[in-house]
Amino acid sequence: MHPRQIKAISQSPGALMRYRRTGKPPALIEPRSPLITLLEQYSACERLYMRGITLTPTLGYTGHLKFRDAQRLYRWLKPQPRMLEFEHWPAESRRIKQFHKKLSEHDLKMACATWYQ
């Protein structure tokens, strides 16, 4: 069992009751989306030089949120490598669940004010 699952069971009465009833700890899920997959192709250093990104429905998310650089966007999209199933993170509520288009570098360039060289 992962330490985060143990912590959740010890701190959440609902998770503890579910664990006692079913024997299953809270599930760990990996945040995924086409945009996360694309951003993971770049190093953190490269993401810092992609500046002024506007998050739009063409990238698979609702709203027109602006981020200073791609690294901040990546941290917003994926706060931790694995999240507990009942944890809330803002990007998940804005993700277009039916969006499965494979994004390209061109799509990301169109959302950036400044692209790294």
At 11-56, the pLDDT tens digits run 988 888 989 999 989 988 899 999 999 999 999 999 999 999 999 9
Mean pLDDT (the chain, rounded): 92
Residue 70, pLDDT above cutoff 70: yes
| pLDDT for 89 | 86
Closest CA to 101 of 64, 57, 39, 67: 57
Instruction: Using the CB atoms, write b or e for 5-36: b if 16+ within 10 Å.
Output: beebbeeeeebeebbeeeeebbebeebebbbb
| pLDDT for 117 | 67
Band (110; pLDDT cuts 50, 70, 90): very high
Residue 91, pLDDT above cutoff 80: yes
Mean predicted confidence (pLDDT) in 85-112: 92
